A and B are shown apart, each in its own frame.
Chain A
Amino acid sequence: MNDCKCKMNNDLSLIKDVLLEYGNTSSNTITILQKTQEIYGYLPVDVIYHIAARIGSTPAKVMGVATFYNQFNFQPVGKYLIMLCQGTACHVNGSQRIEKAICEELKIKDGETTPDGLFTIKNVACLGCCSLSPVMMIDGETYGYLTPEKTIKILNDFRKRGQKTCEL
């Protein structure tokens, strides 16, 4: 657990409303986990224990559900999550070159976060924008017809934006 970056003293009251709305049944487990991740940015272990207790399940079961789905993160993610599409159309149109460009520019690999906490890169199956391939999504916004140069320019724009908000 030495490498674990999760905080173990998270403010559990943040998900009070979520649990009030959805906590009555374990069939809402996925919805609860999604809302929890929206709040904390990832799923901290102590919060999972808390959820399990509240919905009458066990931490192992909740963890089992969470780890089954690609959407959930168990480590803090960067301010900007880069979802790089690795669907068929993007693959045919050179998504590997884009991945290489991002990884070289940010010096991280798939699933990792930059030390400044600004970017996390995650390969995803298909974003459904195949006609603009290769594509990536950052902050819910899709960027298409990527080239390595264009990708790096977009990353730099986010970097500037990210640094600006930090200064405020």
Chain B
Amino acid sequence: MRIVVGMGSCGIAAGAKDVYQAICAIKKTDDDFTVGVTGCIGMCFLEPIVDIYDDKKNLLHRMGNVRVKDVALIVQALRENNPDRLAPLCITPENADFLKKQTRIALQHCGVIDPTDINDYLASDGYQALQKVLKSMMPEEVIEEIKISGLAGRGGAGFPTWFKWDAARKAPSNTKYMICNADEGDPGAYMDRAVIEGDPHSLIEGMLIAAYAIGAQDAMVYVRAEYPLAIIVLEDAIKQALDKGFLGQNILGSGFSCNIRIKAGAGAFVCGEETAMLESLEGKRGMPRLKPPFPAEYGYNGKPSNINNVETFANIAWIINNGGKKFAALGTEGSKGTKVFALTGKIKRGGLVEVPMGMTLREIIFDIGGGIRKDKEFKAVQIGGPSGGCLPASLLDTTIDYKALNATGAIMGSGGMVVMDSSTCMVNMAKFFLDFTAKESCGKCTHCRLGTKRMLEILSRITEGKGKEGDIELLEELSYAIKDGSLCGLGQSAPNPVLTTLNYFRDEYEAHIVDKECPAKECTELLVYAILADKCTGCTLCARKCPTGAIHGEAKKLHTIDQDACIKCGQCVDLCRFAAISIEGGSRHADN
């Protein structure tokens, strides 16, 4: 038997390392089980996760939210061969459904194999696709297979992968580069990190097949600096692949040579844009280039280059092994295969979800994700990060499909899916994204540099209760100007969060501007704190602790809040033992 602990970044953050060390500490040499690690299975809401496998690698038990104090019991149960004792720790069938409703291709090995040991990958048919390609396929045949599969870039734009490869293959040059975009900058998306940490060899194998297809001998992975564990795991995997002869000179005796280097990003969101990434790889400020020429003609150091996202590469080996047709059988007319989403926010079961294209948002959020925390009402789902949009409940039956999502004003993007309930203010959410894009704009295009700043100012004043008539129209005008006047995807899509919230939640903007009210009760400046006469006991606690002395009242008598002095810090609400302080979204209600 084998005990396996999920040690992805999020598992470790939830305490997996302590659990792993505790198991190792009490394991005796004569114990009849081994201890191992794996990456992220995607059931992040259950971390730390401990699995028990039999010797034939069948999963016997999966335990969630395991604490160090549970370790003794787990080890004891295995020693006594008494699995019943594990039952209280095992995940519920309901939670197990989270995985059952998924179709895993890019994530097929994540949380299953040991990412630190290449032999585990090899035992799961690892590097079979590479061997097949090198021994029996011409580069053109590889590209044709990818064309049949219908695979489109998973980084956000959804451009057909085969087309880019074909263009790079046909570009005349002896030196070409294969580049992996692992600069996963969209806040709320982390599937690329999970793939690198949990299945680094599938990335390496995908990159090698792509390099062979376009004729590149040099490959690079541009990884975000915020992912230290991913860099360590990938470095180690590259070393092991070199030792086994899957990388380097004359790979598997085929005459094809390719090396992979890691370049750590330095924290700039715009570097996820492919031409900005090229500039950054060349050691410059990461500012996008004018296209054309496209990277397939003029890329890294002016040579033909191809750039794909981590998730795209993670699909390649599966497509070669199983055939492009099988991949194309999944999904919809215009969007083939599966897509990984990072389901987060106010969701019950948050984590990584890989589903066939064509599934509806409702199925992902409610059937897989289990719905909203505390069974609150669903309000919106944000898809596609700062370039995407917020979709309301009425659009929950939208299918996962590039075209269908674009029609709503959101985008597929890299797959961030942040779910919100009634406590999230949509104006504040739009402001949050504009704050992000205004900071991350590289400054090259005036519309993006200044336009996002002006939009942020307008949104800020709206959330502070200083919104003016005409602000909504001004936001719309600026949005379209920025879209037209920006060179790269960052600027072209930066207004999307504002446009979609204006489209679907316009009443919330109007409430802020006209009624000076925040319906979600999130915008601090607009809130009104009041003391409820029927609940206040006059204990004086709030009056004594109020930092600005805004609360007045005698002992055992009703207290009142001086609205002019109140700074809306919320301390009185936390302090009050009688729930006597009410919060209203605006003065209109408080006056009544």
Cross-chain contact A129 with B190 (CB below 8 angstroms) = yes
Cross-chain contact B282 with A31 (CB below 8 angstroms) = no
CA distance A26 to B341 in the complex (A): 38
The A87-115 residues at the B interface (CB cut-off 8 A) are 87-93
Number of interface residues of A (CB under 8 A): 43
**Chain A contacts for B186, CB-based, 8 A:** 126
Q: Does B456 contact A (CB under 8 A)?
A: no
**Chain B contacts for A125, CB-based, 8 A:** 185, 187, 226, 267, 269, 436, 440
**Chain A contacts for B45, CB-based, 8 A:** 131
**Chain A contacts for B436, CB-based, 8 A:** 125
Cross-chain contact A88 with B283 (CB below 8 angstroms) = no
With contact pairs A71-B266, A92-B346 given, residues A132 and B226 touching in the complex (Cβ less than 8 Å): no
Cross-chain contact A31 with B342 (CB below 8 angstroms) = no
**Chain B contacts for A27, CB-based, 8 A:** 281-283, 301
Q: Does B184 contact A (CB under 8 A)?
A: yes
Indicate with 1 or 0, residue by residue over B306-347, a CB within 8 angstroms of chain A CB atoms. Answer: 000000000000000000000000000000000000111110
Number of interface residues of B (CB under 8 A): 54
Q: Does B227 contact A (CB under 8 A)?
A: yes
Q: Which of A26, A72, A140 contacts B283 (CB 8 A)?
A: A26
B511 CB, nearest partner CB in chain A, Å: 20
Cross-chain contact A129 with B13 (CB below 8 angstroms) = yes
Q: Does B14 contact A (CB under 8 A)?
A: yes
Q: Which among A71, A126, A127, A128 has the greatest number of chain B C-beta atoms within 10 A?
A: A128
Cross-chain contact A92 with B286 (CB below 8 angstroms) = no
Cross-chain contact B424 with A92 (CB below 8 angstroms) = yes
**Chain B contacts for A26, CB-based, 8 A:** 283
Cross-chain contact B350 with A130 (CB below 8 angstroms) = yes
Cross-chain contact A65 with B268 (CB below 8 angstroms) = no
Cross-chain contact B264 with A34 (CB below 8 angstroms) = yes
CA distance A135 to B10 in the complex (A): 10
CA distance A79 to B14 in the complex (A): 24
B513 CB, nearest partner CB in chain A, Å: 22
A35 CB, nearest partner CB in chain B, Å: 10
Indicate with 1 or 0, residue by residue over B158-192, a CB within 8 angstroms of chain A CB atoms. Answer: 00000000000000000000000000111111100
Cross-chain contact A88 with B13 (CB below 8 angstroms) = no
CA distance A125 to B186 in the complex (A): 8
Cross-chain contact A92 with B9 (CB below 8 angstroms) = no
With contact pairs A31-B264, A92-B418 given, residues A132 and B10 touching in the complex (Cβ less than 8 Å): yes
Cross-chain contact B185 with A65 (CB below 8 angstroms) = no
The A20-38 residues at the B interface (CB cut-off 8 A) are 25-31, 33-34
A82 CB, nearest partner CB in chain B, Å: 14
**Chain A contacts for B281, CB-based, 8 A:** 27
Q: Does A133 contact B (CB under 8 A)?
A: yes
**Chain A contacts for B301, CB-based, 8 A:** 27
With contact pairs A126-B226, A130-B188 given, residues A89 and B269 touching in the complex (Cβ less than 8 Å): no
Assuming A70-B266, A129-B13, A130-B344, what are 15 further A-B pairs, CB within 8 angstroms?
A30-B263, A30-B283, A34-B225, A69-B286, A88-B188, A89-B187, A125-B185, A127-B9, A128-B9, A128-B190, A128-B226, A130-B187, A130-B190, A131-B10, A140-B228
B residues touching A (Cβ–Cβ < 8 Å)? Answer: 9-10, 12-14, 44-45, 47, 184-190, 193, 224-228, 263-269, 280-286, 301, 342-346, 350-351, 382, 385, 416, 418, 420, 424, 432-433, 436, 440, 442
Q: List 5 A-B contacts (CB under 8 A).
A: A30-B264, A125-B226, A129-B13, A129-B190, A130-B350
Nearest 10 pairs of A and B residues by beta carbon: A131-B44, A87-B187, A70-B267, A69-B266, A128-B190, A142-B13, A29-B283, A126-B187, A89-B344, A130-B344
